[in-house]
Structure 1
């Protein structure tokens, strides 16, 4: 008997599309979803310790958003949706209250909470077993769903975003069952608020490698969702052998290619050679276009997909100087918890304070670029993203700016996607330049100067 995944491969979206039917996606308005991050220490000393308190979300900025996702809630030792251990309840309630107050002037704004995040749910996290256990039985799934819905109602949230990074293949069917239970409960709750129903979203992988964890279950997963937020960033980084773009839209002839992991998955399911070559060619470039294409080929409707963009950049050090640092070897610590020199990123004083020079916000990068420090900005007309190069210090920084976001907005419009999501609000400059660029791009026609040709499309 053939694996049902092969059935998905061959029949594709024409048959799978009817599986999706819960989303409130009748409006033509694009969504703009901004994650709002507060670490435990910031919550407990709010607002003094918060780098970006809620008050920084001005009415002008709030008017450009359709959703704010508070990050993060965790699963407690009892398998329930709860504040992370050590977070003071009264301080968290104050933050939530300030977020909800934004809706007084913008009643259509939705505030969701996000459950999980990389720190709490990745495979090496001390609390990842809570996620696996919480979906393992019907009783555990009901407990988690009940607690998440109760948390949502208690604090006045407008929905639930699940950011489990990522369920393993053996967790995938149970993950579908959890989403189904949460959707069932939200449907019941929505009978009491039909004008602004509670929503359910997830943050899903924006790279092909992590898609393999639950690719066969994707149609069933998305059937329960209002939106699938693609984390279409961190596609390349210091864990690889060569410098590359953090979130390239398209590929480049000179970049390193990767094996397509979905090809092996399809082959194991019995797909023919013709199907493999047509649907899952290998090797491929790690790009946004490749990820979106694979979601579409799984039968996921574009109108439920939200394109994720980064409001931060990734830095590489001791980079070989050819090609202005792009696609070159480098020497940079790749461990998740950085232990090296915190001052490597010239001009990023806050990176030094955080002891993490490998990542910088858009605001910090703009400060670096505007100061006379020796950085030079380049732009790839193939991949549609910029980078900085420091020819003296051999520093390469991949990031997104208002120009690259214009291309990504044009792309999501071309694909018919639901809108855009970004990580995160506190990384924009104080003027909200990136948010403003997203807003203008979504409400205005695509400028004639924006052409999506030139790069290696999947």
Structure 2
């Protein structure tokens, strides 16, 4: 990883936690190359560890990084402190311990449970510079590099130039003895496994056993391209092919050393691990009690992931190819490969332009043509020039005139093709240039959007402001420059993605070559420039694809009240459930179940209309009454607080729309506005459950297998007081006026949903996410089709807020499931789920006629969550499809809102298929 690594990679890695919430992701800092001789980075670790201020600054920066990207820890890979042949100093040993102490203390103060590890060698030469017991006072474990025990470097060591297994267990056992001698427990050590082999060129092709001399490293692999080193997939490729220079490849398994080796191609030799030797080492490690293992490196495996399968013993890991194919089958926009001239092309041969079939660019669009010597009138014959519909290009024109032509694109244009002939429309006819050439230039439709946050500095010799960055320079833009004072900078806001990269002036001499290359846009033209002629820049497509979902996705009629202010009073600052005249503002209704919303935290009355559900007037309707609960930040106060598992709430990790992870926010950092106290098991789930209990139909529409409940017995017992003493639910509450203990099936069931006494199943969530969750539970789309279409029409007009609204709905729909699957929160949810199911068992035991409820709930809960997954996945994937279809004919050419929405919805559709899931 280097400066060329895209920042988006960190988000993509963090997104793996969403697929598997229990996954812990660490960032490793350092490595062999980082501390290599004759590099500018070699002294970095020593300088950081050498002073208290540098140590603290480094620790603070690590914490900031981990918080920003949601990583769980850091591994420090200093290779190697103290070692004189690696630029080490004597004080490095103690300073390394001090560095780890500072990092650990910084992590502890942050309130997050973050991991800290270090990577260590297996050779005594380097290990002697590590105070391993001192380091482990502050680190969770040590990553032991129990590979690379041998290599071509042995020729410079006393052992000499002889081939040996680089992962042999015999020497690994000797290496760890050094750890046991200083009382390092095996549980603090992770054993390293290599998905590669060390390879040599033999001096004597007939001597192929360990201990035979080598003359140097083996030939470089076709993929790794490094002498003396072959990846697992390159080794597999050798073994799967017949060797023309040797009758067969004989693999030798040294069972005592737990390593394999073979010779091939006359004089090549390699040692490596496979399933047999992985198992030998793993069994030994398990016997010793190592904490775990590490791999160098996963990307060295083959497409079948055979090394991973061999090491883990699991055959159900899939393949890299199958994962890639499954991604490719989604027909949505999730990249910018078509942008500008990246995929534009020109016919090789001349065709009849008036023949639609012969001159078709389908599925791309014809942008123009090059006459290229064709006889006849303009437009009759030529080579069509074609671009994808989503290239973002329009208004194409041939530039260049006169005998020299010197075609040069104008500001905001991109060169797509060049020719001595050209076509129409153009600055001149289609006659051939005597020298130079013409340029086929198309207007970048989003040029103005790209430049929205940029400008040329004002005045001669002016510079950019402190909050701006200069991305280009012009020697004399005003015409008033002198040799003493001149120049203007092109300045862009640092707070926004920089719109252009690699800006440079072209056009030397008489300007015969003054046109930007393909996929570059002409930002400015000048007779002087930087003593050159055209300013060429590569557009940064992050500007196209970045969309911040920093908008509230609640509509005007949405139930998204802000409960955060409900701490010292019951007045809601935003739209109230009940207005100042005491009139209920909204009602919610579904077939057979009507609820009238009340002030947040108060009981809610719902009516299960059994006569309508069963089509008979024999039975009455059943009234359901939820239990009062502490709204907003009141959930963190009172006697029931002891039952609340988490002192804080959840929100989306980032505003960036393609980021679907959620984060826990501790109470001290929780915003005072925008959040609601939410029930992990929604209040309306009880009504939906009882609807299934009397009708026999599940939320998905499937038929219930269990016996239904007799409606009359449900009516007779739902509000009946138990005549036995039952276990108390939650805490004893004496600090809430008019609070009463739950004594009926209705009250005890709703008590588990969430109340002043029982808050295990409660949390705090932004109002818009809570609304999306409620809609999904009810089987409704998070955004009604009519509202979706209305917003799409606004996007077509360039409305960026409408694009944010749609993308925000898609993003937060996925976020709801990442919230429900959060590793910490899920424990609380599962406890509440278990308590709810147990309460139904109690009802069936002591209330005659309610015996079927427990069995019905088991079917209902599984079906409900499955239906929620189906509804949410369909909303995101189908929504992305509707967006793609709406703008499939090039609607993004000059509309940044369309472009951003196309990209973000494509990303979110892919994410939905992995992340929208819930297994009860």
Shift of 1:123: 4.7
Q: Is the CA contact (8 Å cut-off) linking 1:325 and 1:396 kept in structure 2? A: no
CA distance in 2, matches of 1:157, 1:319: 48
Aligned partners of 1:322 and 1:328 also within 8 Å:
no
The 1-side partners of 2:311 and 2:180 are apart by 23
Distance 1:305 1:363, change over 3 A: same
Cα offset, 1:126, TM superposition: 2.6
Counterpart position of 1:327: 211
CA contact (8 A) 1:319 1:396 kept: no
Aligned to 1:198: 114
From the superposition, tell whether residues 124 and 203 of structure 1 become closer, same or farther in structure 2 (CA, over 3 Å): farther
CA–CA separation in structure 1 for the residues paired with 2:167 and 2:37: 23
Select the residue among 82, 92, 97 that pairs with 1:176.
97
1:21-420 equivalences under 5 Å are 39-40=1-2, 86-87=3-4, 91-92=6-7, 94-168=8-82, 169-189=90-110, 191=111, 193=112, 197-214=113-130, 217-240=131-154, 241-250=161-170, 287-321=171-205, 324-332=208-216, 344=219, 348-351=221-224, 354=225, 356-373=226-243, 374=246, 375-390=249-264, 393-420=266-293
In structure 2, C-alpha distance between the alignment counterparts of 1:349 and 1:218, rounded to whole Å:
39
SS in 2 for 1:134: helix
Assess if the C-alpha contact under 8 Å between 1:385 and 1:400 holds in 2: yes
**1:99-129 CA distance string (max 9 Å, x none):** 1111112111111111101111235533111
Match of 2:294, SS state, is: strand
Higher helix share: 1
Highest RCO, 1 vs 2 (Cα 8 Å, sep ≥ 6) = 1
Displacement of 1:227 in angstroms is 1.5
Q: Secondary structure at the match of 1:109?
A: coil
Is the contact made by 2:203 and 2:267 (CA closer than 8 Å) also made in structure 1? Answer: yes
Structure 2 CA distance for aligned equivalents of residues 134 and 209 of structure 1: 23
Aligned to 1:425: 298
C-alpha distance in 2 between matches for 1:427 and 1:110: 22
Shift of 1:210: 1.0
1:322 deviation in Å? Answer: 5.1
8 Å CA contact retained: 1:318, 1:395: yes
- Please list the CA deviations of residues 214-247 of structure 1 after superposition, one character each: whole Å capped at 9, or x if unmatched: 2xx2111111111200011111111121111111
Q: Distance in 2 between matches of 1:181 and 1:155?
A: 21
Deviation for aligned residue 1:399: 1.1
1:369–1:376 Cα contact (<8 Å) kept: no
The match for 2:517 is none
After superposition, what is the alpha-carbon deviation per residue over 1:328-382, rounded to whole angstroms, capped at 9, x for unaligned?
111115xxxxxxxxx935xx4224xx2x131111111001111102433111122
Deviation at 1:414, TM superposition (A): 1.1
Hey, what's the Cα distance between the residues in 2 that align with 1:425 and 1:140? 33
Post-superposition CA distance 1:378-403 (Å, at most 9, x none):
1112211001212x521111111111
Instruction: Determine helix, strand or coil for the equivalent of 1:179.
Output: helix
Looking at structure 1, the residues matched to 64 and 184 of structure 2 have their Cα atoms a distance apart, in angstroms, of: 30
Distance in 1 of aligned mates of 2:192 and 2:262: 22
Q: Unaligned stretches of 5+ in structure 1?
A: 1-38, 41-85, 251-286, 334-342, 442-458
What SS does structure 1 have at the residue aligned with 2:25?
A: strand
Secondary structure, aligned partner of 2:152 = coil
CA distance in 2 between partners of 1:319 and 1:401 (Å): 26
Shift of 1:200: 0.5
Deviations along 1:420-442, whole A, 9 cap, x unmatched?
A: 1110110111222222222228x
- Mapped partners of 1:292, 1:122: distance in 2: 25
Q: 1:288 offset after TM fit, Å?
A: 0.8
Unpaired runs of 5+ residues, structure 2, are: 83-89, 155-160, 315-920
CA distance in 1 between counterparts of 2:153 and 2:309 reads 32
Structure 1 residue 188 displacement after superposition:
2.1
Q: State the alpha-carbon separation in 2 of the partners of residues 321 and 300 from structure 1.
A: 43
CA–CA distance in structure 2, aligned partners of residues 328 and 170 of structure 1: 40
C-alpha RMSD over aligned residues: 1.8
Task: Give, in whole Å, the separation in 1 of the partners of 2:28 and 2:36.
Answer: 15
| Contact residue 202 and residue 208 of structure 2 kept, 8 A | no
TM-score calculated relative to the size of structure 2? 0.31
Q: Give the CA deviation at 1:87.
A: 3.1
Could you list the per-position Cα deviations for residues 235-265 of structure 1 after superposition, in whole angstroms to 9, with x for gaps in the alignment?
1111121111111101xxxxxxxxxxxxxxx
Deviation for aligned residue 1:323 = 5.2
Secondary structure of 1:120 counterpart: coil
> Is 1:123–1:166's contact at 8 Å kept on the other side of the alignment?
no
Distance 1:387 1:315 in 2: 9
For 2:229 and 2:168, locate their aligned partners in 1 and report how far apart those are by CA, in whole Å: 17
Aligned to 1:54: none
Number of matched pairs: 297
Q: Which whole-Å deviations, capped at 9, do the CAs of 1:250-295 have from their partners, x for residues lacking one?
A: 1xxxxxxxxxxxxxxxxxxxxxxxxxxxxxxxxxxxx111111111
> What is the alpha-carbon distance in structure 2 between the residues aligned to residue 289 and residue 322 of structure 1?
31
Maintained 8 Å contact 1:378/1:388: yes
Using the alignment, how far apart are the partners of 1:384 and 1:423 within structure 2?
18
Q: TM-score, normalised by structure 1?
A: 0.62
- The answer for the alignment partner of 1:262 in structure 2 is none
Q: Deviations over 1:128-158 (max 9, x none)?
A: 1111111111111111111111122112211
